Amino acid sequence: MENHNPDCIFCRIVKGEIPAEVIYRNDHVLAFRDIAPAAPSHALIIPQEHIASLSELEERHRDIAASLMLAAGTVADILGIRESGYRFVFNSGADAMQSVFHIHGHLLGGRQMGWPPFPGEAVLHG
């Protein structure tokens, strides 16, 4: 596979070396259940190619980026939350608390959520 990183846990899931509850797969992406769900329905949608974070996405990844977004609705359908609603979140970098450095979108649903991320706090910058 192009750009496989043997030290990356999500690359190893793509290769089947580490077990995961796979929900959906196509030529570009893989979706599986998060091991520590933060919502009643919590899936991760990842590119099969190793790309460390959103900040590493390049023009040549256009098809992969499109596949990630398009997979959200498909996976939401499989999880039964397409109609009730869901959030699709990409943590990128330290401030966002990204902990696995292989792009993954968190697809979260199955309950009412809040917005904004820091209710009651003033926006200090920008």
Binder among 14, 98, 105, 109 for ligand AMP (CB under 6 A)? 98
- DSSP per position, the chain: -TT--TT-HHHHHHTTSS---EEEE-SSEEEEE-SS-SSSEEEEEEESS----GGG--GGGHHHHHHHHHHHHHHHHHHT-TTT-EEEE---STTTT--SSS--EEEEESS---SSSSTT------
Binder among 14, 20, 43, 57 for ligand AMP (CB under 6 A)? 20
Q: Which is nearer to ligand AMP, 16 or 120 (CB)?
A: 16
Catalytic site residue 61?
no
Tell me: does residue 92 bind ligand AMP (CB under 6 A).
no
**From 28, 102, 104, 106, the catalytic residue:** 104
CB 83 within 8 A of CB 41: no
Binder among 2, 7, 95, 97 for ligand AMP (CB under 6 A)? 97
Q: Which is nearer to ligand AMP, 99 or 112 (CB)?
A: 99
Tell me: does residue 66 bind ligand AMP (CB under 6 A).
no
State the residues that interact with ligand AMP by CB under 6 A: 9, 18, 20, 34-36, 44, 91, 97-100
